[in-house]
Amino acid sequence: MDRSEEAKLRVARQFIEAIPHARALGMQLDRLHDGVAEISMPYDLRLVGDPRTGVIHGGAVSALMDTCCGAAVMSHPEAPAGTATIDLRIDYMRAATPGQRITARAACYHVTRTVAFVRATAHDEDDARPVASATGAFTIERPREGAKP
């Protein structure tokens, strides 16, 4: 891993750690490289939306996917200095299995001068059946000319 990749990884970890809800949800950066991110979140009883079923609340899944998409944008080779969510559409396909870790995987597939486009999925331990899928658009904040990375 070269110095620029290490710097991107460090910035992405700081990005995630700086978001209070990411820390509160126990998010963990599992993979980050060239516009692709993977972030997971452990099962936690505090995040259960329906006590009868033990299913994690959709808002926690949404936060995980949004954070993962932002990390994918931050790790893109065109290296934006910052990003924010413009639009994020999430389709919930099924309830996550109670007791299982949820993992989001996002890929930044297209970048314009001001907007990055991202696709993501979330899975529990059953990779063949997504819990949710998402598509989103994120702002691109470019580094200032002459600024150090």
**For residue 93, what are the CA distances in angstroms to 76, 78, 110, 132, 147?**
28, 32, 25, 5, 43
Whole-structure pTM value: 0.88
SS3 72: helix
Q: What is the DSSP letter of 45?
A: G
CATH level 3 topology of 3-139: Thiol Ester Dehydrase; Chain A (3.10.129)
**pLDDT for the residue numbered 145:** 66
Q: What is the pLDDT along the chain (149 residues), one digit of tens a residue?
A: 567 667 766 766 777 778 888 989 999 999 998 999 999 999 999 999 999 999 999 999 999 999 999 999 988 988 677 899 999 999 999 999 999 999 999 999 999 999 999 999 999 999 999 999 999 999 998 766 665 65
**pLDDT for the residue numbered 80:** 72
SS3 content of the chain, % helix, strand, coil (to 5): 30, 35, 35
